[in-house]
Chains A and B, each alone.
Chain A
Amino acid sequence: MSDQMTAGAGAPVPKKRRRRRHSQWTGLIHVLPALALVTVFFIVPLGMTVWMSLHKWPLMGLPRFIGLDNYERLLFDKSFWSSLWFTVQYTVVVTIALLGFAMALALIVQGQGRAVSAYRTIYFLPVVTGFASAALLWVWLSNVDTGLFSPLAQDLGLTEGRVNILANFTPAFWSVIVMVVWKMAGFFMVILMSGLQSIPADYQEAARIDGAKWLQRFRYITMPLIRKPFALALILCVSGSMLAFDQFYIILSGGPQNKTVTAVYKIFNESFVSFRLGYGAALSMVLLVILLVLSVLQLTLLSDRKDK
Chain B
Amino acid sequence: MKLKALLGGAAIAAIALPGLAQAETFSLWVRSDGSEFMPKLVDAFNAKNEDKAELQIVPVNELVQKYAIAAAGGSEPDALSLDLIYTPSFAQAGQLKELTEFAKSLPYYDNLSKAHLSVGAYDGRIYGMPFSADASVLVWNKNLFEEAGLDPDKAPTNWAEIREDAEAVAALGDDTYGFYFSGNCGGCNIFTFMPLVWASGGALFEDEGAKATVTTPQMKDAIEFYRGMVEDGLVPAGSQTDSGSNFFAAFAGGNIGITPSGSFAIGALNNQYPDLEYGVTYLPGKDGGWSSFAGGDNIVVSAKTEDSKMPAIQAFIEFAYSPEGQKILAQNGSLPVRDDVAEQALEGLDARYMIAAEAMAKGKTPYSPVFNDLINSLNGPWVTMLNRAFYADSAAEVDEAMEEAQDEMQSIIDASR
Contact = CB atoms under 8 A, between A and B. Distances in A.
Interface of A: 58-61, 143-146, 162-164, 166-167, 253-258, 261, 265, 269, 272-275
20 contacts: A60-B71, A61-B93, A61-B95, A143-B238, A144-B238, A144-B241, A162-B237, A163-B237, A164-B237, A167-B391, A253-B243, A253-B378, A253-B379, A254-B379, A256-B387, A258-B384, A269-B377, A272-B65, A273-B379, A274-B372
Contact of B373 (A61, A256, A274): A274
Contacts of B65: 59, 272
A274 B65 CA distance: 11
B279 interface: no
Given A61-B94, A269-B377, A275 B68 contact: yes
Given A60-B68, A167-B391, A275-B68, A254 B240 contact: no
Contacts, number: 71
A255 B243 CA distance: 10
A273 B372 contact: yes
Contact of B388 (A61, A164, A257): A257
Interface string B151-168: 000000000000000000
A144 B68 CA distance: 39
Contacts of A164: 237-238, 240-241
A143, A166, A273: which has the most chain B beta carbons within 10 Å? A273
A272 B66 CA distance: 11
Contacts of B387: 255-257
A258 to B, nearest CB: 5
Contacts of B379: 253-254, 258, 261, 265, 269, 273
B214 to A, nearest CB: 16
A273 B384 contact: no
Interface in B93-116: 93-95
B184 interface: yes
Contact of A144 (B90, B237, B377): B237
A254 B388 CA distance: 13
A105 B372 CA distance: 46
Given A144-B236, A145-B237, A269-B379, 8 more contacts: A61-B94, A145-B236, A167-B240, A254-B379, A261-B379, A269-B377, A273-B378, A273-B379
Given A60-B95, A167-B240, A167-B391, A257 B384 contact: yes
Contacts of A258: 379, 384
The 10 closest A-B pairs by CB, nearest first: A60-B93, A59-B68, A145-B238, A61-B93, A167-B240, A253-B378, A254-B379, A144-B237, A166-B241, A164-B237
A7 to B, nearest CB: 51
B64 interface: yes
Contacts of B94: 60-61
Nearest to B185: A253
A78 to B, nearest CB: 11
Contacts of B184: 253, 255
Nearest to A161: B237
Interface in B286-339: none
Nearest to B388: A257
A123 B36 CA distance: 45
Interface of B: 64-65, 67-68, 71, 90, 93-95, 184, 236-238, 240-241, 243, 370, 372-373, 376-380, 384, 387-388, 391
Contacts of A162: 237
Contacts of B241: 144, 164, 166-167, 255-256
B251 to A, nearest CB: 13
A247 to B, nearest CB: 15
Contacts of A257: 384, 387-388
Given A167-B391, A253-B243, A274 B238 contact: no
A192 B226 CA distance: 52
Nearest to A255: B184
B64 A59 contact: yes
A256 B383 CA distance: 11
Contacts of B373: 273-274
Contact of A273 (B93, B236, B243, B377): B377
B71 to A, nearest CB: 6
A254 B378 contact: yes
A166 B241 CA distance: 7
A273 to B, nearest CB: 5
B126 to A, nearest CB: 19
Contacts of B238: 143-146, 164
A60 B304 CA distance: 13
Contacts of B243: 253, 255
Nearest to A165: B241
B240, B241, B243: which has the most chain A beta carbons within 10 Å? B241
B382 to A, nearest CB: 12
Contacts of A144: 236-238, 241
B345 to A, nearest CB: 34
A203 to B, nearest CB: 52
Nearest to B408: A79
A275 B86 CA distance: 13
A255 B182 CA distance: 14
A146 B249 CA distance: 12
Nearest to B65: A272
B228 to A, nearest CB: 18
Contacts of B384: 257-258
B404 to A, nearest CB: 10
Contacts of A272: 65
A67 B184 CA distance: 38
A146 B236 CA distance: 11
Nearest to B381: A258
A164 B270 CA distance: 32
A153 to B, nearest CB: 13
B305 to A, nearest CB: 15
Contacts of B370: 274
A88 B103 CA distance: 55
A176 B371 CA distance: 30
A151 to B, nearest CB: 13
A257 B67 CA distance: 31
A272 B376 CA distance: 12
A272 B68 CA distance: 11
B403 to A, nearest CB: 15
A58 B372 contact: no
